[in-house]
């Protein structure tokens, strides 16, 4: 039976795991065979620096594995990318990637290069991340926000990351805004979504206004901020991630969420007080 093995670069686990996934796939760590096969065939064939393999893949890394009678990597590529993106969405810290896929039939091995391996701190796949990941496998995610969140991890510059994250946040909070209204709606809706007090809401609204102005400067004048944007981008990532997770886990549509936020502006209540969501990550600036 042909075997597919995809090392999850820059991931690690504290104990052996095996997680059954749809489509005949499973995630495994702590097993000798996936590591030995990947180490044997991939280390010397990588398009990138060969030392990257040893620094980012070990026996304790995650490996995506599948056995298929007829295996076509091109057909499964969207599924493999979805697994990578959901792993990264599940973790507050750390960035993993699946840049190569190995297909093994008998003594023959084929290597498919999917993408450049992503940079970032190591993703430690512990029980809490595993719990979020498994729940994500059962939920539909807001597609545009999820895609742009994932794309932001691939970008090198802070400016490009900021643009991707603002596209994600606009699609979540203000796709109905016209020119001149978008910043206003983003400020109010995000302030009431995350803020529990007037002081918190004011701080969020000020952050949104400042950051969205940076977005406009980058788009319209090509301004480069460099490292000055690092903390801002990290905050935007937290806000986007929390909103994607909250809406998916709670099982409400984005339109329903926006209607709720407009109601809160009139009542003055907090989101969790009024709607008691079953899952809610709060970001405090």
pLDDT tens per residue across span 72-104? 777 889 999 999 999 999 999 999 999 999 998
Q: Which long-range contacts (CB under 8 A, 24 or more apart) does 273-277 make?
A: 277/246, 277/249, 277/250
Look at residue 114 and tell me whether its pLDDT is greater than 80: yes
Q: Is the pLDDT of residue 180 over 80?
A: no
Which tokens belong to 179? 């020119």
pLDDT of residue 170: 96
Strands 123-124 and 11-12: parallel
The residues facing 104 across adjacent strands are 3, 109
**Region 138-164: what's the mean pLDDT?**
95
pLDDT at 109: 85
90: helix, coil or strand? helix
| Each residue's pLDDT tens digit, 21-63 | 988 899 999 999 999 999 988 887 776 666 788 899 999 999 9
User: In this model, does residue 176 exceed pLDDT 70?
Assistant: yes
pLDDT reading at 179 higher than 70: no
SS3 at position 251? coil
Mean per-residue pLDDT, 232-244: 97
Copy the structure tokens of residue 83: 């697994």
Q: Report d(CA 123, CA 63) in Å as an integer.
A: 13
pLDDT > 90 fraction of the chain, expressed in percent and rounded: 65
Cα radius of gyration (the chain): 21
């Amino acid at each position: 039976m042909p075997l597919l093995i995809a090392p999850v670069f820059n991931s690690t686990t504290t104990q052996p795991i095996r997680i059954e996934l749809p489509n005949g796939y499973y995630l495994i760590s702590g097993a000798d065979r996936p590591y030995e096969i990947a180490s044997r065939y991939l280390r010397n064939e990588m398009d990138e620096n060969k030392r990257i393999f040893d620094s980012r893949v070990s026996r304790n890394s995650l490996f995506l594995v599948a056995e298929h009678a007829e295996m076509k990597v091109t057909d499964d590529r969207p599924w493999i990318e979805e697994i990578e993106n959901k792993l990264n969405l599940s973790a507050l810290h750390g960035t993993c990637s699946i840049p190569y896929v190995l297909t093994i039939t008998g003594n023959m091995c084929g290597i498919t290069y999917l993408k450049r391996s992503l940079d970032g701190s190591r993703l430690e796949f512990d029980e809490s991340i595993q719990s979020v990941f498994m729940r994500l496998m059962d939920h539909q995610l807001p597609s545009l926000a999820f895609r742009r969140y994932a794309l932001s991890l691939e970008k090198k510059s802070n400016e490009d990351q900021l643009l991707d994250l603002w596209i994600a946040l606009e699609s979540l909070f203000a796709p109905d805004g016209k020119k001149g209204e978008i910043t206003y709606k983003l400020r109010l809706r995000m302030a009431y979504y995350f803020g529990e007090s007037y002081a918190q809401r004011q701080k969020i609204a000020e952050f949104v206004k400042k950051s969205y102005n940076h977005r406009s400067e980058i788009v319209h004048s090509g301004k480069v901020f460099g490292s000055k944007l690092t903390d801002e981008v990290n905050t935007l990532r937290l806000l986007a991630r929390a909103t994607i997770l909250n809406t998916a886990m709670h099982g409400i549509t984005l339109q329903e969420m926006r209607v709720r936020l407009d109601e809160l502006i009139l009542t003055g209540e907090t989101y969790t007080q009024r709607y008691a969501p079953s899952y809610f990550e709060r970001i405090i600036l």
